[in-house]
Structure 1
Amino acid sequence: MDANRLLAKPWLPGVELFHADFSGQAFGRHSHDAFAIGAIVQGVGGYQCRGQRYALPAGTLSLMNPEEPHTGHAESARVVYRMLYVEESRLPALLGRKRLPNGFGTLNPHDDGQVAAGLARLAGEFERGDALGLESELLALLELVFVRHGGLREAGAAFRDSGVTAYLRDYLEAHYAEAVSLEQLAALVQRHPRHLIEAFRRAYGVPPHTYLLQRRVREAKRRLLQGQALADVALGLGFYDQAHFNGVFRRFTGVTPGRFRVLAQS
């Protein structure tokens, strides 16, 4: 059980992410006061629900509605999965919809990899504690899952307001080294976070979180060329740690910060 982790943030109530990695553990009959959105990463999971026993191989989703009784166990020697729990009362604020999802009819649909990838990204943001990244990944994942499997209609076209998106871009340019949350950005322009993300993407090709990371990388290059230490650059630009800095820098440039500095000095 040491490999299991339950991730939550005090500033994001009603949302938890469970990373399960176990072999002999079994969960007795229980229910959750939240929607459960999970993906099997490795091995075969299993449970009993709605009067049937299910085996879930890797590539399968596990979707449950609030207060739905079920058990849980490993069908294989080891099972690894990620499960997102979102309280039903939080959906109106998170989704920004007048009409909410009907709930999940099919418990274990096959996944084309997008939901599992979204859960993996969300887990990474939980670990880093980056509010803007975490909230952005959460909203994208909820939209994807509930449109595909919860009866939610596709969102309409995002608002087009060049003044609003330009203001947000200027704000990110001015505060790129600070911790910025999606809720904070939405309050600045009085738009729902989901609408804000899509409008910004339509205007600049990327969501606000990606734009912010790109801006940090540009500044990191400048500071590295000035001879600043890697650790000082990472800390000064709001990265969670050196590994996070390395990963983001490489994602946008193709090389690590250390390699970039060596090549620049050669």
Structure 2
Amino acid sequence: MKKELRTVVYDEDLHIEAYRFEGFVRPFPNHFHEYYVIGYLESGQRALSCMEQEYSLRPGNILLFNPGDSHACAQSDGGTLDYRGLNLSKEVLLDWVEAADGAQELPVFSPHVILDTETASCLRTLHELVMSGSQGPEKEESLLLLISLLMQKYGQSPSRPLFQHQTEVEAVCAFIQDRYAEHISLDQLCRCAGLSRSTLLRAFTRAKGVTPYRYLENVRIGEAKKLLEQGISPVEAALLVGFSDQSHFTNYFDRFLGLSPGSYRDIFSETKK
């Protein structure tokens, strides 16, 4: 079987992550990111579940995930996945959105899966420039063109639909964000929300697309990434964000990001040399 290969590059000029997965078989369990993801499927077929919608992914598809969009995928053709992607923080995207069309509000991209040869060509060009370490102006121009195309075709003003127990669910999210490094029990979250276990689980999962525990794990991984980017060791990062078991942290990190905590830290160590 073809060996899984993963390559990740952090671009200091654009402040974005570019990565490529080749020969991947593993599924990615339900999770979300705190940043925007723009991906492109090179080869393979996958079944994607995103925000209660089901998609059949084929080569040429572009994937658009907004911060907080819960999603999971698994191979559906018996083959392997070749995939390239870009990660952009909210702050970075907002700067480029403003440069592209003067907007001062973060967009919501929709739909999550598109087939667009013009946008795909721009995405591939930018991705190759970043992965190759290009230093020329073409890199910035490619990113600006990509954001312009996405905004024109798929950008929408953010909507905030009301849902049952919205106030209680947001209170639980704030509680988790403030105390993610501590041991947090479901009973604590229920007391915070003033809801029963079953009511909280139903309301939270429907609103966020993940369970409260999975939300906590995602927050911890997001905070761990920030520490690893600063050069903190994986062992120390695991403890600082609330993982008591190093192997649990490593396995979880690898399952959701496709690489180990140490490999992720090395990306940023290389850029500082």
TM-score, normalised relative to structure 2: 0.50
Structure 1: how far apart are the matches of 2:31 and 2:120?
24
Which stretches in structure 2 are left out of the alignment for 5+ residues?
158-273
Q: Is the contact between residue 101 and residue 146 of structure 1 (CA under 8 Å) also seen in structure 2?
A: no
Question: Is 1:9 the counterpart of 2:11 in the alignment?
Answer: yes
Percent of aligned pairs with the same residue?
22
Contact 1:41-1:116 within 8 A present in 2 as well: no
Structure 2 counterparts to residues 33-112 of structure 1, below 5 A: 33-76=34-77, 77-95=79-97, 96=99, 97-111=102-116
Structure 1 residues 18 and 128, CA gap change in structure 2 (3 angstroms): closer
* Structure 1: 5+ residue stretches without partners: 153-266
Aligned partner of 1:143: which letter? Answer: S
2:134 corresponds to which of 116, 130, 135 = 130
Shift of residue 90, structure 1, vs aligned partner: 1.3
Alignment partner, residue 120 of structure 2: 116
* Separation in structure 2 between the aligned mates of residue 104 and residue 92 of structure 1, nearest angstrom: 13
| AA partner of residue 10 (structure 1) | E
Q: Matches of 1:110 and 1:134 in 2, distance apart?
A: 23
Distance in 2 (CA, whole Å) between partners of 1:73 and 1:101 is 29
Residue 101 of structure 1, CA deviation: 4.8
Task: Give the TM-score normalised by structure 1.
Answer: 0.51
The alignment partner of 1:32 has SS state of coil
CA deviation digits over 1:62-95, x for unaligned, max 9?
1111111111322231222222211111123223
| CA–CA distance in structure 2, aligned partners of residues 150 and 101 of structure 1 | 9
In the TM superposition, 1:16-27 aligns within 5 A as 16-27=17-28
CA distance in 1, matches of 2:94, 2:109: 17
What residue number does 2:145 align with?
140
CA RMSD of aligned residues (A): 2.0
The Cα of 1:142 is off from its aligned counterpart by: 1.2
Give 1:114's aligned amino acid.
E
Distance 1:3 1:73, change over 3 A: same
Give the AA of the match of 2:107.
N
For 1:71 and 1:92, the matched residues in 2 are separated by: 26
Q: 1:128 to 1:59 in 2, by over 3 A?
A: closer
SS of 2:138's equivalent in the other structure is helix
Please say if residues 40 and 84 of structure 2, whose CA atoms lie closer than 8 Å, have aligned partners that are also in contact. yes
Question: Partner of 2:153: helix, strand, or coil?
Answer: helix
**AA matched with 1:33:** E
Distance 1:79 1:5 in 2: 14
State the distance in 2 between where 1:70 and 1:46 align: 11
Residue equivalent to 2:216: none
Name the SS for the 1:4 alignment partner. Answer: strand
Residues 19-57 of structure 1, C-alpha deviation per residue, up to 9 Å, x if partnerless? 122332121221111111122222213322112332111
List per-residue Cα deviations over 1:84-116 (Å, max 9, x = no partner): 2111111232232234353123111222x1222
Compared CA separation, residues 5 and 73, structure 1 to 2 (3 A): farther
Give 3-state SS (helix, strand or coil) of 1:134's partner.
helix
Q: Residue 16 of structure 1 aligns to a residue in which SS?
A: strand
Q: Report the structure number with the largest CA radius of gyration.
A: 1
1:156-235 alignment, distance < 5 Å: none
